[in-house]
Structure 1
Amino acid sequence: MPFLESMTELTPWELLMNVVDILLVWFVLYKVITIIKGTKAVQLLKGIIFIVIAQLITQALQLETLGWIMQQVLNWGFLAIIIIFQPELRRALEQLGRGKLFSSSTLNEESERNRLIEALTKSVSYMAKRRIGALMSIERETGMSEYIETGIPMNSDITSELIINMFIPNTPLHDGAVIIQKNKIAAAACYLPLSESPFISKELGTRHRAALGISEVTDAITIVVSEETGAISLTANGDLHRNLSLEEFEAKLRRIWFGEQPTENTSSWWNLRGKKNG
C-alpha cells in the first residue's frame, strides 16, 4: 500500500515527529472540545458539520444550485465562526493568557477536597435540621453552562454560610438550584430539567424531580434537602439515594465526587463536631 510504503521510507526521527505532530493535534482538539463543552456552541458546531456533509452530498449528486449555496456558506464560514464563537474564543484566550488552557481542572489537593466536603456537609446539616429546602448540583465531566446561564452568576468561593444564606426562604436566591463548578459556586437560582420518568414516586416534589432530571442528562451530583421533612437525598447517574444520614451523605459524596472510600481515620466535620461537643 502507498501509505505503508511512504511510512517505511521515513527515518526514525521523521517518524517520531509525525507521531508527536498527530498527538499534539488530537490534544489541541480535545482542549477545544473541553472549552465549548456544555455551551450553546456545541449545537452550532453540529450545524457546521451538517453543512459540510450537505456540501459533500451536493457535489456527489451534482446539485448545482444547492451546491452554490453551500459553497457560499462555507466561504463566509470563517467570519461567521469568529462572530458566533466569540464568547468561547475569548474564554480560551483568557485561559491561555493565565496559563490555564493546558492545566488540569481536577481537584487533586486533599485539603481542598476536605474543605469542599466540609462546607457542603455543614450547610446540609444546618438546613436539614431546620427543614430549609435546598437544591445543589455539582458539575463533573459534562458541562452545565447551559443551566448556569439560566441563573444569577455568582463565581463565589464555597462556604457553608453562603450556601445557607442563599436557601433561606423568601430571599431572592432561594428558589432554584445552586450549581457548583470546580471549586466555585457558579450561579444560583438556576433552572434544572424535570425528570419525565413515570416510575418516580408521586410523593417526591419538584426539587427531587429536578435532581433526577439533571442526573439523567448529565453526570452531575445533585443534593436535595426536603422542605417538608428535612430528609437528605443525593442523585447521580440517574439514581436517587433518599433519606440519607449525615454520615451516609458525606460518604456517598466523597465516593461519587472524588472516588474516595470511607476509612476509619476519616476526619469528617460531623465526627469532629461530635468529639468537640463530647
Structure 2
Amino acid sequence: MSRFFDFIENNFGSISSFDKIQWMDIVEILLIAVFVYQFMLWIRNTRAYSLLKGILIVVLFIFIAYFLQMNTILWLVYNAGGYAITAVLIIFQPELRKALEELGHKKIVSSIIPFDSSKNENEGRYSDRTVNEIVRATFEMAEVKTGALIVIEEETVLNEFIRTGIALDSLISSQLLINIFEHNTPLHDGAVIVRGDRIIAATCYLPLSDNLSLNKNLGTRHRAGVGISEVSDSLTIIVSEETGRVSVARNGKLQVGLTKEELKDVLVEEQNKNNQEKQKHKSKLKLWKGLVKNEKKHD
C-alpha cells in the first residue's frame, strides 16, 4: 500500500492547494469534461466500446504490475505499447473516421456563441403536411411492392450525395414520390433526398454499409439506407421491392416491418426534435443579444 501513496505523492504532490487554481485551469477542466462526455456518448454506439472496456482492464493490470514490481510484464508493455497503439488505429480506422466527421458536423462554436442564423432558420424543418405525404406515398408503394429509398436530411448536410443525383428542388407530395420510384421511369433508380418540405434530388448514390451484423437477406437498398445513416444523422425510409415491407434506418440501425402509425410516430418524433433544437438556438440567441446590449449600455 505504501507504493500507492508514493506514486500519488510523486505524480500529484505538486498540487498542494486550490488557491493556485486560475481561470484558465477551470477552462481546461471544462473542455476536458466536455470532450470525455462527448467521447463516451459516441463510443457506446460503436464496436469500439468493447475495445475501451478491454483497454481499461489492461490499464488496471499494468497498474497492478507496477505496484507489485512485475518487471518482465512492465518491460513487455513498454516495448510493445507503440505497436499496440498503431494496431488499434488501423483496426478501428472506420470508427475514428466517423468520429472526426461527426466532430466536423457539430456546431461547437454556435452552441456557445449563437450567431444570428435567421437566414437558415427554417432549413431542415418539415411540416405536418410533409409527414402525411411521405407516409401516404410510402405505404401506397409498399402495397404494390415498389422499391423506394427516401433520405430525410437532418443536421448533417448531404450535399456530397445530392451532387451524385439529379436536382429537383420540388415541393414534396405523395404523387411525386410515387412517380419518381415507378418502374421504368428515369428517376426510379437510386435515392431521393428530402430537405425540409422539398425533394432536393433523385437518383442519388449512397454509401453501402459494411456492417456484418445485418441480415444477409437484405439487399443493396437496405444496405444503402443503413450506410447513409452511419455517416450522417439522416433518417432513411426503405420500401422493399421483394416483400413490400417498410423499414427505417437511423444511427446505423435498421427497424424492419413498420406499420403506417409507427412510421408516422418516427417522423413526428424527428420533427419535434428538430423544433426543440430550433427553440434552444433561439433562446441562446436572445440571451446572447441581451448580454451584448447590456455591455453596450455599460460602455
Residues 233 and 240 of structure 1 are in contact (CA less than 8 Å); yes or no, is this contact kept in structure 2?
yes
Residues 231 and 243 of structure 1 are in contact (CA less than 8 Å); yes or no, is this contact kept in structure 2?
yes
Q: How does 1:91-110 map to 2 (within 5 A)?
A: 102-106=119-123
- Verify: 1:243 aligned to 2:257, yes or no: yes
Residues 154 and 233 of structure 2 are in contact (CA less than 8 Å); yes or no, is this contact kept in structure 1?
yes
SS state at 1:222 partner: strand
Q: How does 1:125-204 map to 2 (within 5 A)?
A: 125-204=139-218
How far apart in 2 are the matches of 1:127 and 1:199? 28
- Verify: 1:258 aligned to 2:266, yes or no: no
What 5-or-longer segments of structure 2 have no aligned partner?
1-21, 23-116, 275-299
Residues 141 and 219 of structure 1 are in contact (CA less than 8 Å); yes or no, is this contact kept in structure 2?
yes
CA RMSD, aligned part only?
2.0
Runs (4 or more) in structure 1 with deviation over 6 Å come to: none
Letter in 2 for 1:133: G
| Shift of residue 257, structure 1, vs aligned partner | 3.7
Letter in 1 for 2:226: L
1:234 matched residue in structure 2: 248
How far apart in 2 are the matches of 1:185 and 1:146? 16
| Shift of residue 237, structure 1, vs aligned partner | 1.1
Residues 154 and 234 of structure 2 are in contact (CA less than 8 Å); yes or no, is this contact kept in structure 1?
yes
How far apart in 1 are the matches of 2:152 and 2:133? 13
Question: 1:81-108 deviations in whole A, cap 9, x for unaligned?
Answer: xxxxxxxxxxxxxxxxxxx863413566
- Verify: 1:216 aligned to 2:230, yes or no: yes
| Shift of residue 181, structure 1, vs aligned partner | 1.3
How far apart in 1 are the matches of 2:266 and 2:204? 24
How far apart in 2 are the matches of 1:228 and 1:257? 30
How far apart in 1 are the matches of 2:124 and 2:242? 34
Letter in 2 for 1:259: K
Compared CA separation, residues 245 and 149, structure 1 to 2 (3 A): same
How far apart in 1 are the matches of 2:224 and 2:272? 23
Question: 1:17-46 deviations in whole A, cap 9, x for unaligned?
Answer: xxxxxxxxxxxxxxxxxxxxxxxxxxxxxx
How far apart in 1 are the matches of 2:222 and 2:207? 11
| Shift of residue 256, structure 1, vs aligned partner | 2.6
Residues 132 and 225 of structure 1 are in contact (CA less than 8 Å); yes or no, is this contact kept in structure 2?
yes
Once structures 1 and 2 are overlaid, which stretch shifts more, 207-216 or 112-121? 112-121
Q: How does 1:55-66 map to 2 (within 5 A)?
A: none
SS state at 1:102 partner: helix
Letter in 2 for 1:181: R
| Shift of residue 114, structure 1, vs aligned partner | 1.0
| Shift of residue 249, structure 1, vs aligned partner | 1.0
Q: How does 1:12-27 map to 2 (within 5 A)?
A: none
2:101 matched residue in structure 1: none
Residues 124 and 195 of structure 2 are in contact (CA less than 8 Å); yes or no, is this contact kept in structure 1?
no
How far apart in 2 are the matches of 1:177 and 1:107? 18
How far apart in 2 are the matches of 1:116 and 1:184? 9
Question: 1:63-85 deviations in whole A, cap 9, x for unaligned?
Answer: xxxxxxxxxxxxxxxxxxxxxxx
SS state at 1:252 partner: helix
Residues 235 and 241 of structure 1 are in contact (CA less than 8 Å); yes or no, is this contact kept in structure 2?
yes
1:14 matched residue in structure 2: none
Pair member with larger Rg: 2
Give me the TM-score of the superposition, normalised by structure 2. Answer: 0.51
Residues 177 and 189 of structure 1 are in contact (CA less than 8 Å); yes or no, is this contact kept in structure 2?
yes
| Shift of residue 253, structure 1, vs aligned partner | 1.6
How far apart in 2 are the matches of 1:103 and 1:235? 26
Residues 221 and 257 of structure 1 are in contact (CA less than 8 Å); yes or no, is this contact kept in structure 2?
no
